[in-house]
Structure 1
Amino acid sequence: MLARTTLSLGTALLAAALLAPGCSAYRSSDGAAPRTLAQESEQALARMRAADASLSGFFDRAYAYAVFPSIAKGAAGIGAANGDGVAYLRTPGGFRAVGTAEVTQVTLGFQLGGQNLSQIVFFQDRTAFDTFARNQLEFAANASAVGVRQGAAASSDFEAGVAVFVQPREGLMLEAAIGGQRLSYQPYAGGGVTTLP
């Protein structure tokens, strides 16, 4: 029991150190002046839709979605990832921003290197969104996300009410491991409407 407790504490401390940048004020990933999270989210959406027009099919069918413009992934024996995002809910006038979201991930095993990517999580129906809204959404260890590239979304579908796509800030990615990712949600009143068809 003591060994397990010590390992858990050590893991938590290392993960906290790796995830610390995610706790700071939100800044654009290119080091420019601070931008709002909503602006970064809209820009990430535009990049992903430009890279794969078939993503429109998911926007047509989704009840809601959450977009994370910049998820920083670091690894030094223990992998950790963290990113902030915005959650959007379908309304008669378009998708409306209804709250903020956060993704965290800690993985064990030998790993080395870092990565920065954007991620969008589609929720097929209210049941799937409510699981997210109750902070109960965690991906299984073998879960993976589809890399955004032309036509990739056309051959993808929802699984257990959720579909996840990722796009590295540089280069291409066929898929990414998202096992262990936990998503949390914080609602807020009001918010702008993003006009997505």
Structure 2
Amino acid sequence: MKNILSLLAVTFVLIGLTFSSSAHADKYAEAIADFKKAPEVQGFFDSAYGYAIYPTVGKGGFGIGAAYGSGKIYKGGVYSGDSSVSQLSIGFQLGGQAYSEIIFFKDAEAYNDFTSGTFEFSAQASAVAITVGANAQVGSTGNSAGAGNAGSRTKASASYMNGMAIFTAAKGGLMYEAAIAGQSFSFDAK
């Protein structure tokens, strides 16, 4: 019963994070501008066939975790439809966080695969203990790269995996997890 109440509390926090961020009209433009500031991402904006942007993904868990966010998909810099991301994870995890996520599509094949209806990344292991200035996760098979705090000399290396590259930037919160989780995406053409 205690776990169920905790999970419900985390769910309400996630919903609150998602809806409170939805009130801001320019959230997509701001998220794109924030990602463009990161040197690790700039080359992807220049060469990608398209991308999906999720300004706020709320994530939380206590044993069982969940994440949700809504986004937009762009092809050649032009809006092509709406998308949502959801995630369910089972394993040791505690806390909640919010982050932004962007997925770059290398070519038409990757874009078409992602926008075919319901797309799902394979399960991946992750360990997030704190939020940092620029936190990046790359690939669809669990490879990751991290960028350090502002002023750090740490540099992330990024590349396409299976035609896609994923970056996340922590917005706030604190979460410890050692869990296996897979993200699912939906797409609705405009």
**In the alignment, is residue 35 of structure 1 matched against residue 28 of structure 2?**
no
Which residue of the partner structure matches residue 183 of structure 1? 185
Q: Residues 140-185 of structure 1, C-alpha deviation per residue, up to 9 Å, x if partnerless? A: 1122554466742xx21100001000000149xxxx9884101111
Which residue of the partner structure matches residue 123 of structure 1? 105
C-alpha distance 157-28 of structure 1, shift in aligned 2 (>3 A): same
Instruction: Name the Cα RMSD after superposition.
Output: 3.0
Tell me the distance in 1 between the aligned counterparts of 2:171 and 2:14.
Answer: 17
Stretches of structure 1 that go unaligned for 5 or more consecutive residues are: 1-10, 189-197
C-alpha distance 169-73 of structure 1, shift in aligned 2 (>3 A): same
TM-score scaled by structure 1?
Answer: 0.69
Tell me the distance in 1 between the aligned counterparts of 2:40 and 2:17.
Answer: 34
Indicate if the aligned counterparts of 2:18 and 2:69 stay in contact, CA closer than 8 A: no
Higher strand share: 2
Stretches of structure 2 that go unaligned for 5 or more consecutive residues are: 125-141, 149-153
Which residue of the partner structure matches residue 72 of structure 1? 58
Structure 1 SS opposite 2:159: coil
Structure 2 SS opposite 1:78: strand
TM-score scaled by structure 2?
Answer: 0.71
Structure index of larger Rg: 1
Counterpart of 1:35, as a letter, is: H
Q: How many residues align?
A: 158
C-alpha distance 72-20 of structure 1, shift in aligned 2 (>3 A): same
Q: Residues 79-127 of structure 1, C-alpha deviation per residue, up to 9 Å, x if partnerless? A: 100000111110xxxx111111100000112311001000000011111
Deviation at 1:187, TM superposition (A): 1.1
Q: Percent identity?
A: 36
